[in-house]
Chains A and B, each alone.
Chain A
Amino acid sequence: MRPWHRPSDLLLSLLALGSAALWVFPLYWAIVTTLKPEDEVVAPGFHLLPLHPTVGAYGYVLAHTTIARWYLNSLVTAAAVTVLVVAMSATCGYAISQLRFPLRRLLFGLILASFMVPLQALIVTHFILMNDFGLINSWGGIVLPQLIVPVVVIVYKQFFDAIPREFREAALVDGAGEFRLFMQIFLPMNWGVTTALAIITFIGAWNAFLWPFLVASTDRAMTVTVGIVQVHDAFGVQYARNIAGAVMAAMPVALAYLIFQRRVTEAVALSAGIKG
């Protein structure tokens, strides 16, 4: 490998760390702002740390908005999307990979083709459909249109394809059915992928803006990602409070990323078609 102890390498390290620090500065500044009293936020001068640290902005947002309710909505809908997407895609990917049945190729072709469709183009008819179902301003209405994630099926198919035939044949000789085979061999052998896909599906559902914004517009029905913009509208120019709402909305996904870094990056690369 290349030698490490050279002046150019030290320079490179400094450059890299410096630009990375610059890149995350907006996040740092946002968090620092929320820990300042409102008068200090608008005071002249540049202070990297709050002079009088306080969590008052968070308390205010918690007490004066329905953020707890929005949190619950986000949690329930993101969890539902995650469980349903992973379960439906895993079983479907398994069947396409391991079983031979009529229309198999057509089904796989359709799933591949649906990559081409921008979900933004379907907002009109999704809204009409959810209205027909009576699901406007409900958890179901937020969840259903988010269930179409063809890439998850394809990732599962690829991973199931890679499992040697012997496992399957041995289990079939032992008289195991397809469902047992799936639950006891194929799924456990791919827990890593399942975890990775579940985490990014959850992050995606938590972060979804356009659809939840359209379908859940009442204060009690909206998700936290949509709701924090209402905090902004309600408070006017109260910077610490605005950003405190944003920090609270970002916390679950930021933590999920920091804890499961490797899994997240692995899943992101996988769904882009690059095997890590």
Chain B
Amino acid sequence: MTRAAGRAVRIPAGRQAAQRQATEAAALVAPFVIAYLVLFVYPTLKLVQLSFTASPLIGTGKWVGTANYVRLAGDGLFRASVYHTAYFVALTVVPTTLLALGIALMVSRLRGWRQSLVLACFFLPYILPVTVVTLIWQWLVDLQFGVAQPLLRLVSGGSGVAVFKSPAWAMPMVALVTIWWTNGFNVLLFTAGLRNIPADYYEAAALDGAGRLAQFRHITWPLIWPVTALVLTIQLILQLKIFDQVYLLTQGGPFNSTYVVVQYIYRQAFVLNHGGYAAAVALFLFALIAALSVLQYQVLRTRESR
């Protein structure tokens, strides 16, 4: 440790100084570390322990070994919730990434107040609470008085659509609302990324007679790819954790057609009072996200090494 301390600060050196520094460091990191241990490490370990018991939400239950996991493997509603979550991911991740890239390309060619205004319009929904977003959309697509109903009738070919009560419409609509809500974040990342591409690349390409399309293919797309990969992984991880919008818009219905994984955790723990089983479901999500986060970390590292 003294060697490391010597590298960091040359004055004052010596063992005594290193010791003083360690004490000061302990005081500075203590609040975070204590919070981290109590609110993060302990709940995580407790979750693992809980998943091997038949506990209710509050109170103790007997040790059941891997019974919860065995049950999970054969649980139809759980499997359905995994399937619906995957469907939601498919409906949101790639579409929102492409849409955001398109919007960012448009925004980046604007200048001055036009750029700030347009960017602000696309970003504004992102900072709103989810309940506000869902209340607004419920009103927009309201079967009787919704201002979007004429548009929906156009798609459905005639009659009005109760979008959140139709198994075919519900999940795509939840996805649409989610994209409207969160797309601004992706637009922001892409706009920042596009700004980092030097303008002289385009000027040189234009001198060589490259058209807009060729410029996009040979300059923009390869240079923005690291940001694209980042957005894709962030979105993938984020959308796997879908709960709020589904719960608020459809409660998982109709006929469980929008039931998702986090909702299943919620239901087992807080509705059915099956703490142990809920913990097993939660650990499944935990493992999935942890694995994908490793992927995200790799993507970030490739980005930084460039």
Which A residues are closer than 8 A to B by beta carbons?
1-2, 4, 9, 12-13, 15-17, 19-21, 23-24, 26-27, 29-30, 33, 41-42, 46, 84, 87-89, 91-92, 94-96, 98-102, 104, 107, 110-112, 114-118, 120-129, 131, 144-145, 147-148, 153, 168-169, 172-173, 177-179, 182, 203, 206-207, 209-210, 214, 225-226, 228-229, 232, 239, 242-243, 245-247, 249-250, 253-254, 256-258, 261, 264-265, 268-269, 272-274, 276
Contacts and interface: CB of A to CB of B under 8 A. Distances in A.
A61 B6 CA distance: 64
A125 B32 contact: no
Contacts of B82: none
A81 to B, nearest CB: 11
Contact of A272 (B38, B58, B230): B230
A254 B124 contact: yes
B286 A249 contact: no
B57 A121 contact: no
Contact of A265 (B12, B111, B123, B262): B123
B22 interface: yes
B73 interface: no
Interface string B223-262: 0000100100010010011011000100000000000001
A269 B262 contact: no
B270 interface: yes
24 contacts: A17-B117, A19-B106, A23-B122, A95-B25, A99-B8, A99-B22, A115-B293, A115-B297, A116-B289, A116-B293, A117-B286, A117-B290, A122-B44, A122-B47, A124-B50, A125-B43, A126-B39, A126-B43, A148-B39, A172-B9, A249-B131, A249-B132, A254-B127, A257-B127
A109 to B, nearest CB: 12
Contact of A225 (B21, B35, B129, B227): B129
Contact of A100 (B4, B10, B31): B4
B118 interface: yes
Given A92-B32, A172-B9, A172-B11, 13 more contacts: A17-B117, A26-B136, A30-B136, A99-B22, A116-B289, A120-B241, A120-B265, A121-B285, A127-B270, A179-B27, A207-B129, A207-B130, A249-B132
Contacts of A89: 32
A169 B129 contact: no
A210 B294 CA distance: 25
B282 A16 contact: no
B291 to A, nearest CB: 8
B200 to A, nearest CB: 11
Interface in B18-48: 18, 21-22, 24-29, 31-33, 35-36, 38-40, 42-44, 46-47
B192 interface: yes
A168 B9 contact: yes
B28 A92 contact: yes
A128 B275 contact: yes
Interface string B260-282: 00100110011000010011001
A124 B31 contact: no
A100 to B, nearest CB: 4
B201 to A, nearest CB: 13
A171 B75 CA distance: 63
Contacts of B89: none
B139 interface: yes
A180 B39 CA distance: 29
Nearest to A112: B297
B87 interface: no
Contacts of B289: 116-118, 121
- The main secondary structure of chain A at its interface with chain B is helix
B286 A269 contact: no
B64 to A, nearest CB: 16
A14 B129 CA distance: 30
Nearest to A119: B241
A114 B32 CA distance: 13
A117 B139 contact: no
B136 A246 contact: yes
A152 to B, nearest CB: 10
Nearest to A74: B129
B28 A95 contact: yes
A28 B114 CA distance: 19
Contacts of B4: 100
B11 A148 contact: no
A229 B248 contact: yes
B69 interface: no
B90 interface: no
B77 interface: no
B217 interface: no
B283 interface: yes
Top-5 shortest CB links A-B: A20-B121, A116-B293, A101-B25, A125-B43, A92-B32
Interface string B105-140: 011011100101111111111011111100111011
